[in-house]
Amino acid sequence: MKKINTILRKEWAEVFKNRMVIFVVAFLPILMTAIPLGILFSTRDTTSASSASMSGINSETTQGMCPEGLSGSDCFQVFMISEFMMMFMIIPVAIPVTIAAYSIVGEKSTRSLEPLLATPITTAELLVGKCLAAVIPGVLATYGAFGIFAFGSWILVANKMLLTALLDARWLIAIFIVGPLLAVMAVVFSLMVSSRVNDPRVAEQVSMVIILPVLVGFFGQIAGLFVLNKVVISWVALVMLLLDAVLVFLATKVFQREQILTRWK
Amino acid sequence: MIHTESLTKRFKETLAVDGLSLDIHEGEVFGFLGPNGAGKTTTVRMLTSLVGPTSGSANVAGFTLGQRDTDIRRTVGVLTETPGMYDNLSAEYNLQIFANLYEVKNGPEQVEKYLKMLDLYDRRFDAAGTFSKGMKQKLAIARALLHEPKVIFLDEPTAGLDPEAAHLIRDFIAELKKEGRTIFLCTHNLDEADRLCDRIGVFKTRMLVVDTPANLRTSVFGRKVVFHLRTVDEKLVGAVRAMPFVREVKAVDNKLLITLEDPESHNPEIVRVLVGAGADVQFVGELRHSLEDVYLQLVKAA
């Protein structure tokens, strides 16, 4: 555990000296929080009918997501904010991908991997340390952004029933379960990509492909192809868990010491 | 301390190391010489359990390769081909990371000790990226020694360094030798190997020869003695050639180059014969072939 902790601290000491990493870690959560809060603010006086007609959304969709007792305009707000749940899911993907890309490629460019692998650290400890160094900031940033969003909602929304609806189980599953699972998937994917390229920007750009499923989810939801209700999000979490298990298993098979030494260069 | 038997490494179609069998004793400085691409680094990587052998076996510091790899890594120190420092982090933090990874109990004290020993203490808070090549190399040596390893692998420790820095590193290796550590030294610097190593192995995918530097010279070139005379003529050359223990005689200017098996025993007799034949012997000395000559001869022959 001490070795994992050493790797973790070393990674953070290194990557958080990189302006690109700092920018992504700081800017992305701010952006992803400001957008839904801005929407919440701008739609707080909108009536259900006019809102629905503006966006072409039928009231059945919004009513289906709303608990009893909420007005049409409240339901519209619930619906609109739900659309942005997927945007929050970009944070635990983008931040770990950026950190992992700079971490691995940086290690390659300074040729510091061999001395590192020559120590008694196990391959698992090394990979876990590196993964955690990328996952933790992503997850914490997601939680932080969600906390600010929840606090902002509490200030902006007068109807506390609406607040309860906004912060229901769907959101909690998404933020606290799907988010970390997405982060793990993004990091393992980024590790695989970074081991093959020698430029951190290329590693980051290629690894960002992993964000596509999140964007597909985002636009699919906006287009009305599906609604992210409790059941759907629970299934997403289950699938993510299985995917992560498969990816981590593959990573432990692929990233053997010799492979890392001879391939990561 | 290091024992290998038919150690072989193949990367797909490329045979990097072919059946290396070797014994290195405790406290010995072993020079591992060979041209670029000979498989020296691959050998070091195998012996430090960074890459696994394709076949063969090895035992390093009492641990069997492939069975006790973590113990091997815990027991040996490695100076890799490139220093590989974390350039954004301070020299002290660079060492502290490795003290933690090597599970050094008195980490901060060891870090301080080696920073002072290698004259880096005043720059301990500076980022390693601001260091000169020589300073980075010293830092890398400190990193390899933090856990006081019994066996130290040094891969090209003075490559690319200016003469002063190289001299300092060589002195430091000599100090390590005095401490009784076993040192496996990969180098292209034959003078360095000659001065520091107890034995030398010349390697080109397979081991060509292993011996002490002196024995290598003798086995490749024989022992040559130079007799400086006032004048040399055919009569003197003939008189020396007639002696049964003389293997070869060459006259060059006013010198006789004589190849002998045992100069210590035969030189007095040769002097007597030459004086008896009317020669004025000015002085006598052994002609030392450089290790470079030996190395080139062996590598070319391979």
pLDDT band at A45; cut points 50, 70, 90: low
Domain ranges of chain B: 2-211, 221-289
CA distance A190 to chain B (A): 21
Contact status, residue B49 vs residue B204, Cβ threshold 8 Å: no
Name the 3-class secondary structure at B253. coil
**Residue B13: how many CB atoms within 10 A of its CB?**
5
Nearest Cβ partner of B82 from A6, A111, A258? A111
Residue A168 identity (one-letter amino acid): D
Instruction: Starting at the earlier edge strand, list the strands of the sheet with B281-287.
Output: B246-252, B255-260, B223-229, B281-287
> How far is Cα B77 from Cα B145, in angstroms, rounded to an integer?
6
Under the banding of pLDDT at 50, 70 and 90, the label for residue B181 is: very high
Could you tell me the pLDDT band of residue A263, with boundaries at 50, 70 and 90? Answer: low
Q: What does the longest C-alpha to C-alpha distance in chain B come to?
A: 75
Percentage of chain A with pLDDT > 70? 88
Nearest to B51 among A10, A110, A261 (CB): A261
pLDDT bucket at B32, cuts 50 / 70 / 90: very high
DSSP codes, B129-170? GGS-HHHHHHHHHHHHHTT--SEEEEESTTTT--HHHHHHHH
From CA A36, how far away is CA B157, in angstroms rounded?
58
Q: What is the pLDDT of residues B35-81, one digit of tens each?
A: 888 899 999 999 999 899 999 999 999 999 988 999 999 999 999 88
Report whether A170 contacts A235 (CB < 8 A): no
Identify the residue whose tokens are 């955690």.
A132
Query: Shortest Cα distance from A125 to chain B (angstroms)?
Result: 10
Contact B54, B11 (CB under 8 A): no
- Which chain A residue shows the shortest CA-CA distance from B72? A120
Q: Topology of B221-289 in CATH?
A: Alpha-Beta Plaits (3.30.70)
Instruction: Flag if B50 and A113 touch (Cβ within 8 Å).
Output: no
B162: pLDDT strictly greater than 60: yes
pLDDT at A61 over 60: no
Q: Are A94 and A26 in contact (CB under 8 A)?
A: no
Which band of pLDDT confidence, cut at 50, 70 and 90, is reported for residue A124?
Answer: confident
Question: CA-to-CA distance for A26 and A53, rounded, in angstroms?
Answer: 37
Q: Considering only the beta carbons, identify the residue of A2, A113, A117 that sits closest to B100.
A: A2
User: In chain B, which residues have their Cβ closer than 8 Å to the Cβ of A12?
Assistant: none
Partner residue opposite B101 with nearest CB, options A3, A110, A111: A3
Q: Which residue of A10, A108, A128 is the best one to mutate when testing the B interface, meaning the one whose CB has the most B CBs within 10 A?
A: A10
CB contact under 8 A, A3 and B78: no
pLDDT exceeds cutoff 80 at B232: yes
Contact between chains at A117 and B93 (C-beta distance less than 8 A): no
Q: What is the ipTM of this complex?
A: 0.79
In total, the C-beta contacts within 8 angstroms joining chain A to chain B are 75
Is B100–A118 a contact, with Cβ atoms under 8 angstroms apart? Answer: no
Residue B47 · residue B183 · CB < 8 Å:
no
The domain limits of chain A are 2-263
Question: Do the strands B14-24 and B2-11 form a parallel or antiparallel pair, or are they unpaired?
Answer: antiparallel
pLDDT score of A54 more than 50? no
Distance CA A181, CA B188 (A): 51
Structure-model confidence comparison of residues B290 and B251, the more confident one: B251
Contact A114 B50 (CB under 8 A): yes
* Check whether domain B2-211 has CATH 1.10.490.10, yes or no: no
Q: What is the mean pLDDT of residues B89-117?
A: 93
For B42, list phi and psi in degrees, rounded to 5. -60, -40
